[in-house]
Amino acid sequence: MVSILGANSVSGGYEVSNSLRFNDDDSPQLSKDMSGLSATNTKKFTTSFWFKMGNVPQPNYSGFIDVGGDNALALYSDNTFYYYENGGSNLYWRPTRVFRDPSAWYNIIIIADSTLSTQTDRVKIYVNGVKETSFHNNSGPSQNYDFSYNTNNTRNIGRSSLTSSSLDGYLSEMHHIDGQAKAHTDFGEFDNNGVWVPIKYTGTYGNTGYYLEYKQTGTSQNSSGIGADTSGEDNHFAVSNLAATDINVDTCTNNWCTLNPLDTPTSGSTFSEGNLKITTSSGQQGFTRSTIAVSQGKWYFETKITTGNVREAVGIALTEATLTDTTKAVHYYSRYGHVLKGNSLFSTKATFGDNDKIGVAFNLDDNTVAFYKNGSLQDTVTSIDSGTYSPIFRDGSDAYAGGGVLNFGNNGTFAGTETAQGNSDGNGYGDFYYSVPSGYYALNTKNLAEFG
């Protein structure tokens, strides 16, 4: 069983290899001054991008794309999508759809053509291939309106210059087409399972257009930078508060496991780094589950401990368990080195603390869980209950704060705190700090389609 499937789980179709992770605490952004260019046609444009949420809810006006400070594609305070077009007209388009699933990739496409005779056709918004028809605000525009969003003002990606609010999450496969109102089917299609998936766009981009694939790791504003434009227009973006470690393989064609900020015991947990880092406050006890759960197969992940006075535990738990029900969990407890099967002590092994890395290899075909400390096997728990399990991070004490960084293979640097080691699973997926045990796999939708 899989709790969430990504856009294109089975290999063989069009593949998107990279995303860019935005951690709002860092105030990250990409920016491009377009003032030296002339827009091809300010009456028409198309923008398409994919995103996966980090924080839920997002900060108010979390900017996907901001143009000139007063024109923006963003998330509103209630997690609805928001297109604000100033230009002296103060136009708003805000569908009623709410974005609140941190396990899913979403595609948003905006198609604008003010030359059309029917006013409601002049701005169309699609989410995962479906046209939005229900709006809080849907304000125009007038015929032959010049869209301020499609001008040569400075563009900021990942941050709103109007409110200084940053996006928290992942962006991938970002197109902007200047001067053309394209069809949404130029960017995606429904597969045989009825799931909207990306396809290769083959058209042109216009003077201020761009295509951001996030395949490069440099911080300069050129073709080797994180903000490299591969449209052929060379509209490369400057990089602020982003690093090579923010390039990620979690994409709309291979969705990776992260922690789930909606499946945590109290509001005392803080999530960051694309839901790969968790900090728990004192007064909280319980475990946080991940976004992917499985009932068969052999899977591996790692956790780095990041805080003192530790009472953390790492392992797996049945999805049917409440977030404080340790009777349905199998985990390795830091302070005493206890390996626990439910509430029963299975064995006592090495304790662990700050900067130690705990590997978990769980085999749901043979119902075993192996725990590793810094690459060395500690013990293997046998005869665990059958069922659907999720990786967990547990704060085992309500007296102390705790914290850790999870590596499901989607970023082998533990959110930029380590040097990548390049250890992949048997399918070539992932970047783990230690070698993946033979026959075990990373938790992503490509592997789930094959083994889950």
Query: In this prediction, what percent of the chain has a pLDDT beyond 90?
Result: 80
Whether residue 135 is predicted with pLDDT greater than 90 in this model: the reply is yes
Domain count, the chain: 2
Residue with tokens 């997002």: 58
* Strand-strand pairing, 357-363 and 368-373: antiparallel
Residue where a domain stops, chosen among 190, 217, 248: 248
Whether residue 400 is predicted with pLDDT greater than 80 in this model: the reply is no
pLDDT digits (tens, 9 = 90+) for 298-323: 999 999 999 765 688 999 999 999 99
**Residue 191, class by beta-carbon neighbours within 10 Å (0-12 exposed, 13-18 middle, 19+ buried)?**
middle
The torsion angles phi and psi of 293, rounded to 5 degrees, stand at -125, 150
Whether residue 276 is predicted with pLDDT greater than 50 in this model: the reply is yes
In a domain, 7, yes or no: no
Torsion of CA 336, 342, 347, 351, to 10 degrees: -20
> What gap in Å lies between CA 55 and CA 62, rounded to an integer?
11
In a domain, 4, yes or no: no
Residue 158 sits in the same domain as residue 63: yes
Residue range of the domain that includes 362: 269-451
- Closest Cα partner for 80 from 97, 68, 65, 63? 97
Length of the chain in residues, anyone?
452
pLDDT digits (tens, 9 = 90+) for 356-398: 999 999 999 999 999 999 999 999 999 999 999 999 998 866 5
Residue 199 sits in the same domain as residue 314: no
Residue 32 sits in the same domain as residue 148: yes
Local structure of residue 437 (DSSP, 8 states): P
Residue with tokens 């700050």: 354
Q: How confident is the model at residue 12 (pLDDT cuts 50, 70, 90)?
A: low
CA 51 centroid distance within chain: 7
Contact criterion met (CB below 8 Å) for 215 and 226 = no
Q: What is the mean pLDDT of residues 131-153?
A: 93
Q: How confident is the model at residue 97 (pLDDT cuts 50, 70, 90)?
A: very high
What is the average pLDDT score of the chain? 92
In a domain, 2, yes or no: no
pTM surpassing 0.85?
yes
In a domain, 226, yes or no: yes
Sign of CA dihedral 62, 20, 151, 145: negative
> What gap in Å lies between CA 369 and CA 342, rounded to an integer?
12
In a domain, 400, yes or no: yes
DSSP states of 381-435: E-SPPPS-EEEEEEE--SSS-EEEEEESSS-TTTTTTS----B--TTS---BSSP
pLDDT digits (tens, 9 = 90+) for 40-78: 999 999 999 999 999 888 877 788 999 988 899 999 888
Residue 345 sits in the same domain as residue 240: no
Q: How confident is the model at residue 445 (pLDDT cuts 50, 70, 90)?
A: very high
Residue 62 sits in the same domain as residue 148: yes
In a domain, 260, yes or no: no
**Residue 73, class by beta-carbon neighbours within 10 Å (0-12 exposed, 13-18 middle, 19+ buried)?**
buried
In a domain, 243, yes or no: yes
Q: How confident is the model at residue 148 (pLDDT cuts 50, 70, 90)?
A: very high
Residue 197 sits in the same domain as residue 297: no
CATH of the domain at 415: 2.60.120.920
Q: What is the pLDDT of residue 140?
A: 80
Residue 31 sits in the same domain as residue 168: yes
Whether residue 247 is predicted with pLDDT greater than 90 in this model: the reply is yes
Residue 102 sits in the same domain as residue 46: yes
Residue where a domain stops, chosen among 219, 248, 277: 248
CATH of the domain at 150: 2.60.120.200
